[in-house]
Amino acid sequence: MVRLGIIGCGYWGPNLVRTFSEIEGVELVRVSDLRPGRRQFIAQRYPSLQTAADATDVLSDASIDAVIIATPPDTHCALALEALNRGKHVLVEKPLATNTADAGRIVELAARTQRTLMVGHLFLYAPAVMQINSLLREGELGAIYCISSMRCNLGPPNTQVDVLWDLAPHDISMILHLMDDAPTEVNAYGASFTNTRFAETVFITLRFADGRIAHIHVSWLTPAKTRLMQIIGSKRVVVYDDMQPVQKVQVFDPGIDNRVNASDKDSTALGFAPGGIWIPPLKSYEPLRAECEDFVTSIRTGRPPLSNGPKALEVVRVLEAASRSLLQGGHSVYTGAQSEATPVEVAR
């Protein structure tokens, strides 16, 4: 039996309570939240679960094997370090921390104490992302040239971070996973219109050492919720629209385009059109369930989870570089990432 405690039960925490409480071989022992209303919310739905105001009641409970941290990002580092120092396995919600130095300290402590460290990069577990990654590794898409991603909805949530740190961890975690590399150069432009504290719409560009690029647009200004990613490969192109109830992933074969190099004698009309469009079947499961199960399996077996600490550290490194670029009006920030990828053929 793996015994768990959860710290933070605001908007997201209850999803973790529900999911972990449905997993066999897991016992949820205690949930802590500073707000009485949130403790009451949990107590009404899960009467057997103990609630506490103070996170120390979870952290100091020797019978608890692992702690899930779903508090605001600026509290993650202190809580994660304390949990690891007390010998707990830790699942931290995204982002792992609010700067690279803190994220590095957490990753280093988890390695030293040989505890599982996982970060809630939920989309790595999405059936669509699993399928796209398989197509990529099987060579169906060829080499990735570039990725563009858009994640927009209304905001801000109850947050102490800007839209970059709120929404972009998802896009960055997916892009680094699919690219199987970290970018060397980051640019970010952003603006705020309805508040003076936080950037609420941000455009980020990532450049990789081998010439590949990615672009992310995150925004709190769009009532039409958008989660759209396009992965341009040398053989095929994938359009991933997470807002579709089915058919989230479409794979486009090479298009037909006779506008270039058409001979003068050629009587056919000039034009372009997509090639065949293929919709791969996706497995049917809840990504959060897969994420939570991966955490429990990692604790039991000692094998690192898919969304592990070192990967999350790279996500924070990119977020920090983007933040710095944002402050510098979009100037390039170099991450110092070393790439071992083979350069792709990029026409310039």
> Interface with ligand NAD by CB under 6 A: which residues?
7-13, 32-35, 38, 55, 70-73, 75, 93-94, 120, 122, 157-158
Looking at the Cβ atoms of 168 and 204, the one nearer to ligand NAD is 168
Q: What's the order of all strands across the beta sheet hosting 2-7? A: 50-52, 26-32, 2-7, 66-69, 89-92, 117-119
Token digits of residue 102: 């803190």
Looking at the Cβ atoms of 181 and 294, the one nearer to ligand NAD is 294
Looking at the Cβ atoms of 151 and 207, the one nearer to ligand NAD is 151
To ligand NAD, the closest distance from the beta carbon of 77 in angstroms equals 12
Looking at the Cβ atoms of 124 and 232, the one nearer to ligand NAD is 124
Helix, strand, coil distribution of the chain in percent, nearest 5: 35, 25, 40
76-85 helix and 100-113 helix, angle to the nearest 10 degrees: 10
To ligand NAD, the closest distance from the beta carbon of 141 in angstroms equals 26
Looking at the Cβ atoms of 94 and 248, the one nearer to ligand NAD is 94
Residue 7 one-letter amino acid: I
To ligand NAD, the closest distance from the beta carbon of 279 in angstroms equals 25
β pairing state of 89-92 and 117-119 = parallel
**Residue pointed to by tokens 């370090």:** 81
To ligand NAD, the closest distance from the beta carbon of 52 in angstroms equals 8
Residue nearest to ligand NAD (CB): 10
Token digits of residue 50: 């103990």
To ligand NAD, the closest distance from the beta carbon of 75 in angstroms equals 5
Residue 267 one-letter amino acid: S
